[in-house]
Amino acid sequence: MVVAEVPKLASAAEYFFKMGVEGKRFRPTVLLLMATALDVQMPRHPADAAIDTLSTELRSRQQCIAEITEMIHVASLLHDDVLDDADTRRGIGSLNFVMGNKLAVLAGDFLLSRACVALASLKNTEVVSLLAKVVEHLVTGETMQMTTTSDQRCNMEYYMQKTYYKTASLISNSCKAIALLAGQTAEVSILAYEYGKNLGLAYQLIDDVLDFTGTSTSLGKGSLSDIRHGIITAPILFAMEEFPELRTVVNEGFDSSANVDRALEYLGKSRGIQRTRELAAKHASLASAAIDSFPENNDENVQRSRRALVELTHRVITRTK
């Protein structure tokens, strides 16, 4: 799907898919598990080949959602790296570093346009508008991050809203799209959405923790990269609740390493890291509860996929990279 006529654009668009970068399969894995977890049982007759064709066709439509989601995700990474002037991404050279900003932006645009073509081929208006909304959310979240007032930067609610737009909207709306394509009820589609939303929020909260506690090698990015970019995340926000004087340090900014050190000192004294982990665990258990609320289904594969989705909620909050 990402093959382009111009070789340079093709190699740029394929860059992250070809590298086999670890972590690039998380969203498709969730979505394909979700597809099986919501498998619609149809009454079978021994000679009913039409039902087999129907379920194969549904599966390929759901797989298309997984492909679209990954393309939107990678496009947003390419654009983010240009905006952040990043030179690595999970331990390898970022595309803008390797091929330049212009090509990185164009490759991101190309992936988005390919995702739109694939989306249109599904011929499902509700699914199209869900995923179009996701692209809008990605832009909104990035803009919120770039244009905060000092009050907004220090506001937990604002931070969680931005996190939903930047990280959780894509996976939650894609999970919902999987349910809609399967012809599930509005109630079940909302449960699928809730799973994705809470999994996405938990994932990002742990990312925020790892930015302070992870080592550069396992994270594939310089530790403390958020705070050095002036981005205030959950651990610092929680620390600020305990030590209001930290707010002065935050307002002064983190251009000086002295301020970074002062912020880390307050963070170390506070329960910021612990409270962020607790909040992530809370979202993980909400995600798990959504799966438990799915309609009963005793099919072995359906059960196994549901267990895997629940297991993923634990992995997300216990990971170290």
DSSP 3-state assignment of 88? strand
pLDDT at 113: 87
Non-local (6+) Cβ contacts of 40 within 8 A are 58, 182, 183, 184
Q: How far apart are CA 257 and CA 284, in angstroms?
A: 34
* Residue in 160, 142, 169 with CA at minimum distance from that of residue 234: 160
- Tokens (6 digits) for 78: 């390419």
Tell me the residue type at 198. N
In a domain, 1, yes or no: no
| Helix-helix angle 234-242:272-292, to 10 degrees | 120
pLDDT exceeds 90 at position 224: no
* Residue in 108, 294, 101, 100 with CA at minimum distance from that of residue 193: 294
Question: Which pTM was predicted?
Answer: 0.86
pLDDT band at 82 (very low <50, low <70, confident <90, very high): confident
In a domain, 15, yes or no: yes
In a domain, 2, yes or no: no
Comparing 80 with 286, which gets the higher pLDDT?
A: 286
* Residue in 113, 193, 203, 131 with CA at minimum distance from that of residue 167: 203
Residues 262/252, Cβ–Cβ less than 8 Å: no
pLDDT at 287: 97
- Tokens (6 digits) for 72: 């939107």
pLDDT at 92: 65
Residue 153 bridge partners (DSSP): none
pLDDT exceeds 60 at position 308: yes
In a domain, 150, yes or no: yes
With residue 90 as reference, give the H or E element that holds it.
none
Percent residues over pLDDT 70 in the chain: 79
pLDDT band at 217 (very low <50, low <70, confident <90, very high): very low
pLDDT at 60: 86
Mean pLDDT along residues 176-193 = 95
CATH number, domain containing residue 102: 1.10.600.10
Structural domain of 256: 7-318
pLDDT at 311: 95
> Which tens digits make up the pLDDT trace of 114-129?
888 899 999 899 999 9
Domain count, the chain: 1
For the chain, how many residues are written?
A: 321
Compute CA distances 273 → 29, 122, 207, 235, 257, whole Å.
28, 43, 11, 5, 21
Q: In terms of C-beta density within 10 A (0-12 exposed, 13-18 middle, 19 or more buried), how is residue 167 classed?
A: buried
pLDDT band at 50 (very low <50, low <70, confident <90, very high): low
